[in-house]
Chain A
Amino acid sequence: MVKRGPSGWLAWIVQRASALYMLAFLVAGLLWFLVDPPGSHPAWRARMAGAGTGIATAAFFAALLAHAWVGLRDVVLDYVRPRSLCGPVLAGLGLGLVAVAAWVLRILVTVRT
Chain B
Amino acid sequence: MPGNTVSSSRDRRPVFLNLAQIALPVGALASIAHRVAGVLLAIGIPLGVYALDLSLQGPQGFARMAAALEGLPSRAAVVVMAWALAHHLLAGVRHLLMDIDVGSRLPEARRSAWMVNAAGLAVALLAAVTAW
Contact = CB atoms under 8 A, between A and B. Distances in A.
Are A and B interaction partners? yes
Contacts of B52: 104, 107
A100 B56 contact: no
B29 interface: no
Interface in B51-70: 52-53, 55-56, 58-59, 61-63
Contacts, number: 52
Looking at B42, B46, B63, B93, the one whose CB has the most chain A CB atoms below 10 A away is B42
Contacts of A100: 45-46, 49
A44 B53 contact: no
A113 to B, nearest CB: 12
Contacts of B39: 71-72, 75
Contacts of A42: 59
B89 A64 contact: no
B130 to A, nearest CB: 13
A58 interface: no
Interface residues of A, number: 24
Nearest to A97: B45
A44 B96 contact: no
A94 B14 CA distance: 37
A100 to B, nearest CB: 6
A113 B33 CA distance: 42
B66 to A, nearest CB: 9
Contact of A68 (B42, B53, B59, B62): B42
Contact of A20 (B46, B56, B96): B96
A107 B53 contact: yes
A57 B35 CA distance: 25
Given A23-B93, A72-B42, A41 B49 contact: no
16 contacts: A16-B96, A16-B99, A19-B92, A23-B89, A44-B62, A48-B56, A61-B49, A71-B38, A71-B39, A72-B38, A75-B35, A75-B38, A100-B45, A104-B49, A107-B53, A107-B56
Interface of B: 35, 38-39, 41-42, 45-46, 49, 52-53, 55-56, 58-59, 61-63, 89, 92-93, 96, 99
